[in-house]
């Protein structure tokens, strides 16, 4: 058996049936009950074993389960087959005892189950729905008890009829046989009256049910003793009864054979009529096709003439480029924004598929700090961090940490990372795995051809005289930076006006010294004490 998670149930769309165990429960409380228990996927597995502890109340959502019992000869006897909406295990669930039969899934089966603690918790939170659930369990038990009483009553009637037949067949035989027949008939009548009374009262007393079972077993034992009694009239009656049953079986077989032959004959007549009708339709369709072929031939000849004229026009025409109506920038941006919202919502609903995720800082540097805020670690643009989750009650910020540690954290806006590009790849792979088409979706990894290559402040203005040349085509003007950024080592090239400082010997200060000279010496080794 495999336990299904909440995400699996939501993605597959499994719902509890509103009949049987879940009858008369409101929709809102049905959703609470849906995840108040556990969901199980089983495939040809034993769910409940006879004689073992059983503390769950099961309900079949899809598929079937078989209820079996091993008889005295060691053979497996199937008692019933339960389909979608049926419940089982309620007796052991309520009494907290052992299972009285085996339950095995047939093929792939989806089941829902609940134990005592989950039931009590649901009743405490939803009193009305919990009470209705208990009433539904009681209704199922009552229905099965009534059905069992009916079967026992029918068995008593059949035994009474058999005794009457044996008595009439025995006639005026031995006095002991008649006396035994009368005694057994009286006991069977008493047992039937007792069952009738129990059926009217619908008692679920365990002692009454045990008495009924003992009465049935004693009756069956008396019948066995009576059959073994050496009475020729009874034996003849049994032989005659077997012959009559055989004749009845033969008669039933031949009647069934006659009905099947009549049915087959009617089927042949209907098939003949259908064949004649199809023949007429085919002839009519053939004649129509010949007429359509003649008309199509004429149309083809006309199209060939038009095609030859079109070829001549193409030879004479100049090279023409197809004009397409490009999608505006605003429409592209609108589609991207919609797709971006879809990716964010999907990430919030499928956190286990997305997080943790290694991403990069895109625009501005950030600082990671520990929980006390005393130590900070700077993260530059382009460095990698690990996204843990969305910030609480927000879909625009992420909680990030170091790649290999969760001790230093920070809150980063989505726009300052490449989160959308990475989630886009995960989303499209997931949709392709589910068999869905993703060709029409926009892509955030593509570089927009309409975006400017530099900021407006870094491009020099273009004079009016250079806006167009003699041919009317605007020339390409290369912009130059007004204030170019200096290199990182620009200070190394500047000559210092100060005299070089004397080198201080710090070898005898020790490794734990924090004086100014020792701090300067340790800066290149990652010291936590920079020169302030």
Q: What is the pLDDT of residue 442?
A: 82
Verify cis geometry, omega within 30 degrees of 0, for the bond prior to 356. Answer: yes
Per-residue pLDDT band at 22 (split at 50, 70, 90): confident
Q: What is the pLDDT of residue 195?
A: 45
Residue with the bigger pLDDT between 320 and 340: it is 340
Q: What is the pLDDT of residues 432-477, one digit of tens each?
A: 888 888 887 888 865 443 333 333 333 333 333 333 444 444 444 4
Mean pLDDT across the stretch 122-133?
Answer: 82
Per DSSP bridges, beta strands 357-360 and 366-369 are: unpaired
Per-residue pLDDT band at 18 (split at 50, 70, 90): confident
The CA distances from residue 123 to 36, 134, 135, 201, 450, in Å, are 11, 9, 12, 30, 61
pLDDT at 55 over 60: yes
Mean pLDDT across the stretch 390-402?
Answer: 90
Q: What is the pLDDT of residue 467?
A: 39
Q: What is the pLDDT of residues 205-224, one digit of tens each?
A: 443 444 444 344 444 444 44
Helix (H, G, I), strand (E, B) or coil at 517: helix
Mean pLDDT across the stretch 518-523?
Answer: 74
Q: What is the pLDDT of residue 469?
A: 43
Q: Which residues pair with 397 in a beta bridge?
A: 413
Q: What is the mean pLDDT of the chain?
A: 75
Say if residues 45 and 105 touch (Cβ distance below 8 Å): yes
Q: What is the pLDDT of residues 149-162, one digit of tens each?
A: 777 777 767 777 76
Q: What is the pLDDT of residue 462?
A: 34
Q: What is the pLDDT of residue 475?
A: 46
Mean pLDDT across the stretch 224-228?
Answer: 43
A 10 A CB-CB count for 60 gives 23
Q: What is the pLDDT of residue 190?
A: 54
| H/E element, 264 | helix 232-316
Q: What is the pLDDT of residue 492?
A: 61
Q: What is the pLDDT of residue 356?
A: 92
Computed over its alpha carbons, how large is the radius of gyration of the chain?
44
Report the share of the chain in percent with pLDDT over 90: 18
Report the share of the chain in percent with pLDDT over 70: 69
Q: Tell me which residue of 369, 452, 382, 368 sits closest to 416, measured CA to CA.
A: 382
pLDDT at 317 over 70: yes
Tokens representing 365 are 């540097």
Tokens representing 180 are 């035994």
Q: Tell me which residue of 373, 372, 378, 409 sits closest to 392, measured CA to CA.
A: 409
What's phi and psi for 82, nearest 5 deg?
A: -110, 135
Q: What is the pLDDT of residue 235?
A: 64
Q: What is the pLDDT of residue 208?
A: 40
Q: Tell me which residue of 245, 252, 250, 247 sits closest to 162, measured CA to CA.
A: 245
Residue with the bigger pLDDT between 524 and 511: it is 511
Per-residue pLDDT band at 104 (split at 50, 70, 90): very high
Q: What is the pLDDT of residues 331-342, one digit of tens each?
A: 888 888 888 899
Tokens representing 435 are 């068999």
Q: What is the pLDDT of residues 181-213, one digit of tens each?
A: 565 556 555 555 544 443 333 334 443 444 444
Please state, in angstroms and rounded to a whole number, the distance separating the CA atoms of residues 324 and 337. Answer: 24
Q: What is the pLDDT of residue 218?
A: 43
- Measured between its terminal Cα atoms, the distance across the chain in Å is 65
Q: What is the pLDDT of residues 262-308, one digit of tens each?
A: 888 888 899 989 999 999 999 998 988 888 888 888 889 888 888 88
Most confident residue range from 367-371, 482-486, 498-502, 517-521: 367-371
Tokens representing 146 are 């009534």
pLDDT at 225 over 80: no
Helix (H, G, I), strand (E, B) or coil at 459: coil
Q: What is the pLDDT of residue 236?
A: 64
What does pTM read for this prediction? 0.34
Q: What is the pLDDT of residue 175?
A: 55
């Amino acid at each position: 058996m495999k336990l299904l998670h909440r995400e699996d149930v939501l993605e597959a769309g499994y719902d509890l049936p509103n009949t049987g165990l879940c009858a008369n429960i409101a929709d809102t409380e049905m959703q609470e009950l849906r995840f108040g228990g556990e969901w199980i996927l089983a495939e040809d597995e034993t769910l409940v074993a006879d004689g073992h502890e059983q503390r769950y109340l099961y309900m079949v959502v899809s598929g079937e389960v078989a209820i079996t019992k091993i008889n005295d000869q060691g053979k497996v006897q199937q008692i019933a087959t339960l389909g979608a909406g049926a419940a089982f295990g309620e007796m052991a669930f309520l009494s907290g005892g052992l299972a009285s039969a085996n339950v095995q899934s047939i093929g792939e089966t989806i089941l829902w189950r609940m134990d005592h603690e989950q039931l009590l918790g649901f009743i405490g939170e939803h009193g009305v729905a919990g009470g209705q659930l208990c009433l539904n369990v009681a209704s199922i038990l009552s229905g099965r008890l009534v059905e069992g009483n009916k079967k026992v009553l029918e068995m008593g009637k059949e035994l009474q009829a058999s005794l009457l037949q044996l008595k009439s067949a025995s006639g005026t035989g031995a006095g002991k046989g008649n006396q035994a027949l009368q005694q057994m008939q009286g006991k069977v009548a008493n047992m039937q009256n007792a069952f009738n009374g129990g059926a009217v009262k619908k008692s679920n007393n365990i002692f009454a049910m045990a008495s009924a079972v003992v009465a049935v077993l004693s009756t069956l034992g008396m019948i066995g003793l009576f059959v073994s009694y050496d009475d020729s009239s009874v034996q003849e009656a049994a032989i005659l009864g077997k012959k009559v049953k055989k004749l009845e079986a033969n008669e039933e077989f031949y009647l069934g054979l006659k009905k099947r032959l009549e049915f087959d004959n009617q089927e042949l007549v209907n098939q003949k009529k259908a064949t004649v009708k199809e023949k007429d339709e085919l002839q009519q369709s053939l004649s129509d096709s010949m007429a359509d072929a003649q008309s199509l031939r004429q149309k083809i000849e006309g199209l060939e003439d038009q095609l030859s004229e079109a070829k001549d026009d193409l030879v004479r025409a100049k090279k023409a480029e197809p004009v397409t109506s490009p999608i505006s920038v605003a429409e592209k941006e609108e589609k991207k924004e919609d797709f971006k919202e879809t990716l964010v919502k999907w990430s919030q609903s499928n956190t286990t598929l997305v997080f943790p995720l290694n991403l990069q800082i895109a625009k501005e540097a950030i600082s990671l700090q520990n929980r006390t805020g005393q130590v900070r670690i700077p993260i530059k643009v382009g460095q990698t961090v690990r996204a843990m989750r969305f910030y609480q009650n927000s879909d625009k910020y992420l909680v990030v940490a170091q790649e290999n540690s969760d001790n230093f954290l920070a809150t980063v806006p989505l726009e300052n990372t490449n989160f959308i590009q990475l989630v886009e790849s995960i989303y499209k792979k997931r949709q392709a795995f589910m068999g869905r088409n993703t060709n029409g979706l926009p892509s955030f990894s593509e570089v927009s051809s309409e975006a400017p290559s530099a900021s407006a402040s870094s491009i020099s203005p273009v004079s009016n005289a250079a806006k167009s040349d003699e041919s009317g085509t605007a020339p390409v003007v290369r912009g130059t930076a007004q204030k170019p950024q200096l290199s990182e080592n620009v200070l190394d090239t500047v000559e210092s006006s100060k005299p070089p400082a004397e080198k201080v010997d710090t070898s005898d200060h020790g490794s734990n010294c924090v004086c100014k000279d020792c701090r300067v010496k340790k800066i290149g080794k990652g010291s936590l004490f920079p020169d302030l």
